[in-house]
Structure formats: C-alpha cells, structure tokens
Amino acid sequence: NINDDTLILLFILLDGTKNGETFAPAKDQFQEELVIRPLHSGDIYASFQFRTLWDTDFLQEGQKKVSHYRLFPKSLGQVLSKFSVQELHISFTQGFWRTMQWGQPFIPSPPGAELWVWFHDTVSDVDGNWKELTNVLSGIFCASLNFIDMTNTVQPSASFKPLGLGNATDHRFLRYATLPREIVCTENLTPWKKLLPCGSKAGLAVLMKSEKLFHSSFHSQAVHIRPICQDEQCTSKAWELRQTLNVVFDHYTSGQGKKEWSLFKMFSRTLTEACPLASSSKVYVDITDNPELFELSPATPLLSQAVVLGDRRTYSVYDLTRAETFGQLRSFNLLLRWKGDNMLRPLLHAERYVAGFGLQTGEIHTVIYNNHPYRAFPVLLMDSVPWYLQLYIHTLTVTSKSRDNKPSYIHYQPAKDRHRPHLLEMLIQLPPHSMTEVTVQFERALLKWTEYTPDPNHGFYVGSSVVSALVPSMVAMSTNFTQDQPLFSSFVPVKEESSYFVRVYTEPLLVNLPTPDFSMPYNVICLTCTVVAVGYGSFYNLLTRTFQVDEPSPPLAKRLANFIRRIRGVPLLA
C-alpha cells in the first residue's frame, strides 16, 4: 500500500543524502492538476494534466545510455532514445469538440487518433523510423496505429512547428498522420494510466473510472513529450512528459438533466489523497463567472489568476498536498450548482462538410468564422485528403464576404495513387467579422476489391482539417515561460503579448465510395461454369457424337421360328 511505498522512498532518499557521495541523481519532478471549467450550457469540462519533468538528455551521444528511470516511464524513454525523437504528440479522442457551445479547449485534438513527431536532425532514414515508431506505439497504447503508413502520412511545410525547444525547423523531419476511424475505449485508457508514477491508485488518477469517462460527450487522452527550458537562462534542456485527459460531461446524459455537478457525480469517486510522488497536486475551478452563473462549495480562500486563451480568468485553487483540503471526512468533493444561462462567442471557429450528390463527384467545403469585431488575423489551414478522393485543384476557391480572397501562401502536394495523400496548406487572411469559405471539387475513385474494408458501406473517413491561428488577445499574455504557472496555461510557448496561438480542428468527413457487390466473383464463377457445362457440353456432344441404327430384338416366337428355320436351311423371317 501507499504508506509503505512512501516509507521506502523516504529511506532511499535519506540514504542517498546521508552518504554524501558524489552522485546527484538526475532531478525529476511530477506535478498533477485538474482544471474544472463549468460551461454555459450546463455541461462541465474537466481537464487532467500530469507533467513529469526530467533533467536528462536522451539524445546526447557522448553520454552513456539512460538506464535508471524513476518517475519517467521506461517504455516511453526507450522509444525516445531508440528512434531519436525530438518531439512526440499523440492523442486519442472520442467525440467532437463543439467550439460554438464550449469555447476553446486547453489542448485541442481531432476525433480519432492523431500522431505527429519531430525527429532529431541526426536521423538519416526518417520514413523507416516513423514506420517502426508507429508499430511500437500501437503496442504501448493498444491502438491500431500500425495502419499509419505512407498513404496517410503527410509532411506539413508550415503547420505544426515544434512546441518545445529547437532551432532546426527543417520540415523534412516532421511527420503527421491521423486515423479518424480509431476507437477509444478502456483498452487505451489502461496503458495510459499505467504510465503515471502513481498509476491509478493515488492522487487525481483515482478519478479516472472508464464507465464514467466514456459516458461523456467528449473524451480525449493525449501524451505530449518535448524538450523545454530547465530554468530562466535556458542554457540546458529538460524533458517534459505531459499526459492530458480532457472530458466534457453532458448534463442530459450523464447529469440526468439537472444542472448540478459534483466530483462524485462526474467520476463516481472523491479524492482522498494526493499522489505521494507529486511535488504539487492541485484542483483549479474556473470561477470567473461565479456569482452570476453558478455557485461553488466548499469555498476556498486560495485564488489564482491566469491568462489563458487570451482571457484573464480567476480560479479557485484546492491544494491536495495540504491535509486541510480534505476536511473532517478525509474526502474531497466539489459541488457546483448552476443559476443562470449565458451565451458564448468564440473568436475562431471552423466547420467542414461534403456537398454534392451521387457516388462520382463531390465538393469539400471548409468554412472558417472570424468573430472578432474589428481585427483581421491570418490562419494557416492544413488539409490532408486520402488519395481515393481525387481533388481537382483548379476548382479551388477561397471566398470571404462573397469576394475572392487570395491566400498569401499555398503549398500543395498532389496525391500518388496508393502511395501518398493530398496535402494542401494555405495561409489565409481572415477579414474581421466574416465567414471564409474554401471549396474544392473531387472525384471518387474505385478501389481494387481487396482494398475495401470488411464494412465498406459504412463509408471512408477523411481526417480533420487543422486551422492554426494567432488570435488577437484581449489581455496581455505573459512571455515568461518558466515562472511558476499552472500547467494548463503554460502549454504553448508565447512569443508576443498581443496574440495567442490556437489550433482548431474541424469535423472529419465520412464519404461513401462506390462499393462493388462482393458476391459478384462467386456469382460469375457459378454462371460461367454453368454456361460452359450446359452450353459447350451439349454443343460438343452434338458435333462429335455418331449415330447408329439399332434394330430392336425380335419377340420370342419369331426367334424360335428363325432358329428352327436355320436348322432346316430355309431363309429366315424378316
């Protein structure tokens, strides 16, 4: 049990310091955080973030291979050093994030599985490393990531810049792939939970019960690994592993229609202790709309302000490392009760759908809304379309406010059948308070009959488009990245104070391809064999058969008479 483990840990630590020997072990620390944001529609958004920071270098050649892992999971560490990975971002999402109703998420993710990796610039065969990396990750996360191959991997030229330290931004070392069909269920959550230092036995991870987490409108779990600055001067690197889990509970399905939430209602558990290996364990509740929208209990004097997504929000902080948080009952349960209703207007919002009819042609429409009243800003739209939807790029149109809007940068890589998908990246300037529509026509290809999935009438998925933008911020953002900030506001490094970086994912598309009748080979064989047997067989018989006249044998009396006549030597009867 946990008490014994902490005792043993204490002994080991004491032992190390008592000897006073030379070695200072590589410093690693673990922080866990839960942010609860009540949404205007009565739903509730909970975001778990677990961060392990480790002061070591997997990729340094001179040093011996890292072999002693403490808080950082060994399976991921070995993957990083074997494939020379500089940055790894993988997410598994079930459901679609509704920006118009819920605002912007702290960490966005598209439906299905998404994996993008920056390799170190010493790698010579990036494609080979990518293929092996996807296979290894499919074993670690129990997902079918081995379906990622050259037909759905792209190399974006301007999107997905590294989120960690790095100066080499040669996009030859970047690979991006998405599997929109990938299902997320308990078998993906189980190995994800096992990567945490405390597992699911202590700290915030005890709240992760699959029966409640998957009974939600949106569930997304992700792993982000990147090198970050160790300190203010930023002279050395530290590796950061962030495991995030975002979930939105719907008040109709999970809440039984009542706009009232508590930790017990959301997760069927309450918190009893912090993870002993964590240096900080906090629960933040967004109370910016506290008096008008909802009321929170138990109240806490600890408040914190943070600028997140261009807005200054106030948070109630509950520190789980302090015993007072748990109160008399040794258990911590929050209660939020809604009072009013309010509407939300996010500044950037995108949608995508397929237009047209029939199974031959169609049109993809991507609509991007800029809801800022007076500021225009640029967005980078990245589209990756599978090769079996053959795009006609000469029909590409970008219109804003019913006028043509020419993008200032277009990168298009055409698809090669069965080899690589289409990649279209455009930098579009969105006028203020406008709707921009990007349309492109396509034709559906007929696949070979072995390339169809076992359920082809379901349709084929096209991955989400990615819209990356620098949205003007109403509040000045802090560019000092290393000061002590809550984890949810320090994910994306901020370079300038007046805007914040956001990534919006559109819906994936489900497109029907012309599907053959799979029983036809059997039908054709049957019919051909029948025709051959009946038609050719009888024709052959007619041609090669000879006919002989066959006399019927005479009756018995006649035969006897003929026999006697033969004996007598008299001519026989006819």
Partner 1 sequence: MSHDFLQMHLKAVISCLLIFLYKVHTTKAGQFFSSGHTNNWAVLVCTSRFWFNYRHVANTLSVYRSVKRLGIPDSHIVLMLADDMACNYRNPKPATVFSHKNMELNVYGDDVEVDYRGYEVTVENFLRVLTGRLPPSTPRSKRLLSDDRSNILIYLTGHGGNGFLKFQDSEEISNMELADAFEQMWQKRRYNELLFIIDTCQGASMYERFYSPNLMALASSQVGEDSLSHQPDLAIGVHLMDKYTFYLLEFLEEVHPASQANMNDLFKVCPQSQCVSTPGHRTDLFQRDPGSVLITDFFGSVRKVEITKDTINLTSPVEPPIQRSGSGDIQIESLTYVDQLPVAEIIHQKPKQKDWHPPDGFILGLWTLILLVFFQTYGIKHLKHIF
**Range 344-373, binding partner 1 (CB under 8 A):** none
Among 5, 29, 82, 132, binds partner 1 (CB under 8 A): 132
x-or-dash pattern for partner 1, window 72-91, by CB under 8 A?
Answer: --------------------
Q: Is 425 helix (H, G, I), strand (E, B) or coil?
A: strand
Is 526 or 572 the residue whose CB approaches partner 1 more closely?
A: 526
Taking CB under 8 A as the criterion, which residues in 523-552 touch partner 1?
A: none
Strand order in the sheet with 361-370: 348-355, 361-370, 434-444, 389-400, 403-404
| Number of residues in the chain | 574
Burial class (CB in 10 A: 0-12, 13-18, 19+), 484: exposed
Euclidean distance between CA atoms 540 and 544, whole angstroms: 6
Is 189 or 389 the residue whose CB approaches partner 1 more closely?
A: 189
- Considering the rule CB under 8 A, would residue 158 count as an interface residue with partner 1? yes
Euclidean distance between CA atoms 440 and 390, whole angstroms: 10
Taking the complex as a whole, the smallest distance from the CB of residue 171 to partner 1 amounts, in Å, to 8
Euclidean distance between CA atoms 540 and 496, whole angstroms: 88
Taking the complex as a whole, the smallest distance from the CB of residue 313 to partner 1 amounts, in Å, to 21
The tokens describing 29, both together, are: 């620390």
Euclidean distance between CA atoms 472 and 496, whole angstroms: 10
Burial class (CB in 10 A: 0-12, 13-18, 19+), 28: buried
Taking CB under 8 A as the criterion, which residues in 427-466 touch partner 1?
A: 427, 453-455
Among 468, 473, 489, 490, binds partner 1 (CB under 8 A): 468
Q: Is 116 helix (H, G, I), strand (E, B) or coil?
A: strand
| Sign of the C-alpha dihedral computed for residues 233, 235, 238 and 243 taken in this order | positive
Taking CB under 8 A as the criterion, which residues in 223-282 touch partner 1?
A: 229, 233-237
Number of residues that bind partner 1 (CB under 8 A): 72
Q: How far apart are the first and last CA of the chain?
A: 116
Among 3, 17, 64, 546, binds partner 1 (CB under 8 A): 64
- Considering the rule CB under 8 A, would residue 6 count as an interface residue with partner 1? no
Is 113 or 285 the residue whose CB approaches partner 1 more closely?
A: 113
Taking the complex as a whole, the smallest distance from the CB of residue 99 to partner 1 amounts, in Å, to 19
Taking the complex as a whole, the smallest distance from the CB of residue 498 to partner 1 amounts, in Å, to 13
Euclidean distance between CA atoms 396 and 309, whole angstroms: 32
Q: Is 102 helix (H, G, I), strand (E, B) or coil?
A: helix
Among 59, 136, 367, 445, binds partner 1 (CB under 8 A): 136
The answer to whether 34 and 48 have CB atoms below 8 angstroms apart is: yes
Among 122, 186, 361, 498, binds partner 1 (CB under 8 A): 186
Angle, vertex CA 344, rays to CA 336 and CA 365, nearest 5: 130
Among 2, 142, 317, 367, binds partner 1 (CB under 8 A): 142
Taking the complex as a whole, the smallest distance from the CB of residue 278 to partner 1 amounts, in Å, to 22
Among 40, 82, 98, 131, binds partner 1 (CB under 8 A): 131
Stretch in the footprint of partner 1 (CB under 8 A) among 105-113, 155-163, 244-252, 532-540 = 155-163
Taking the complex as a whole, the smallest distance from the CB of residue 33 to partner 1 amounts, in Å, to 21
Taking CB under 8 A as the criterion, which residues in 487-526 touch partner 1?
A: 492-493, 495, 501, 518
Burial class (CB in 10 A: 0-12, 13-18, 19+), 571: exposed
Beta-strand pair 377-385/509-511: unpaired
Stretch in the footprint of partner 1 (CB under 8 A) among 102-110, 140-148, 320-328, 536-544 = 140-148
Stretch in the footprint of partner 1 (CB under 8 A) among 64-72, 281-289, 347-355, 551-559 = 64-72
| Sign of the C-alpha dihedral computed for residues 240, 425, 131 and 62 taken in this order | negative
Stretch in the footprint of partner 1 (CB under 8 A) among 42-50, 119-127, 134-142, 338-346 = 134-142
Is 346 or 493 the residue whose CB approaches partner 1 more closely?
A: 493
Taking CB under 8 A as the criterion, which residues in 287-346 touch partner 1?
A: none
Taking CB under 8 A as the criterion, which residues in 88-127 touch partner 1?
A: 94
Is 67 or 124 the residue whose CB approaches partner 1 more closely?
A: 67
Stretch in the footprint of partner 1 (CB under 8 A) among 139-147, 366-374, 415-423, 505-513 = 139-147
Among 210, 272, 439, 485, binds partner 1 (CB under 8 A): 210
What's the one-letter identity of residue 267? F
Is 66 or 274 the residue whose CB approaches partner 1 more closely?
A: 66
The answer to whether 497 and 477 have CB atoms below 8 angstroms apart is: yes
Among 1, 20, 23, 549, binds partner 1 (CB under 8 A): 23
Tell which residue, 173, 177, 148, 176, has the closest CA to residue 84: 173
The tokens describing 380, both together, are: 């980078």
DSSP letter at 123?
-
Give the helix/strand (H/E) hosting 13: helix 2-19
Among 2, 26, 317, 445, binds partner 1 (CB under 8 A): 26
Among 18, 20, 65, 68, binds partner 1 (CB under 8 A): 68
Is 240 or 286 the residue whose CB approaches partner 1 more closely?
A: 240
The answer to whether 193 and 141 have CB atoms below 8 angstroms apart is: no
**Given the structure tokens 């030229």, which residue do they identify?**
157
- Considering the rule CB under 8 A, would residue 161 count as an interface residue with partner 1? yes
Beta-strand pair 280-286/218-229: unpaired
Taking the complex as a whole, the smallest distance from the CB of residue 467 to partner 1 amounts, in Å, to 11
What are the phi and psi torsion angles at 537 (to 5°)? -60, -45
